[in-house]
Amino acid sequence: MFDLAAARELGITVAAAPGLGRTDRLDDTASQPNIKKGSAHPTTQHTWALIMALARNIAADDAALKSGSGWQNGLAMSLTGRTLGIVGLGRLGAAVARIGYLAWGMNVVCWSENLTQEKADRTASEAGLPSGVFRVVSKEELFRSADVISLHYVLSNRSRHLVGVKELEQMKNSAILVNTSRGQLVDQAALLDTLERGAIRGAALDVFDIEPLPLYSPWRRANYWGEGGRSRLITTPHMGYADEGLMNAWYAETAENVDRWLDGKEVLHRIA
């Protein structure tokens, strides 16, 4: 979020960040302009990298081979025909859902607070898919039925801890949870407990409630997850957007906006 008052005081005129233009409040009712967003591809690619890594046991198998301790220690999870749950069918959610449907014939169920089947069908059509491919269900049905749950929801006061004890308990024991959106969408303590108990197959996290992740965070524990009955865990340091092409475009646009401002021209994607 952007503290516009502080920005004015400091003379900051450009923010090289995609997303919703926001003030210093996370207000669900506030009408906020959009800042131009970069390509959806980096986060979409990263989401699928995490899904595949967790489903195919990539990190665990790599570590086992390099330690000399094993060979084919477990079975991978096939994605063909499985159910993909999308929490937040926006641009990123739709892109992730489209790949799951086209690549592995996954059944896509989706939910967000104001999502209707009509909106989902329109999103599918915009993605070049037939109506009904993105099936809108209740939040509870999504968490109970999905084999893979991917979060793509906007963080606000109302969506904070959108995934808590109740939702995690509804998940299948064989299901995986992937979060490339915002760490605070998930109750971190509840997820930690769920994984400690081995209640789901695993989780893949690119975002956390505190970033950078503290040195002694339980999420940093090595040689721990996936052992002793605990769920598997894959973590990355908020890399979903950190793509060479996207970052270069951001900085180029930021420089252009500085030039525009100095020349007295209208800046691009102004939010205030």
Alpha-carbon gap, residue 98 to 74, rounded angstroms: 29
Q: Of residues 211, 220, 221, 227, which has the active-site annotation?
A: 211
Q: Of residues 46, 82, 98, 182, which has the active-site annotation?
A: 182
Known catalytic residue: 41? no
Task: Report DSSP state, residue 184.
Answer: G
The pair of structure tokens assigned to 252 is 């180029």
The pair of structure tokens assigned to 260 is 């525009």
The conformational region for residue 160 under phi > 0 = left, psi -120 to 50 = alpha, else beta, is beta
Alpha-carbon gap, residue 246 to 191, rounded angstroms: 31
Angle at 143 between CA 37 and CA 111, to 5 degrees: 40
Q: Which of 146, 190, 140, 183 is nearest to 165 (CA)?
A: 190
Match 């509870």 to its residue by tokens.
140
Q: Which residues of 152-174 are buried (b: 16+ CB within 10 A; e: fewer)?
A: bbbbbeebeebbeeebbebbbee
Known catalytic residue: 161? no
Q: Of residues 22, 98, 232, 238, which has the active-site annotation?
A: 238
Known catalytic residue: 144? no
Q: Which residues are catalytic?
A: 182, 211, 238
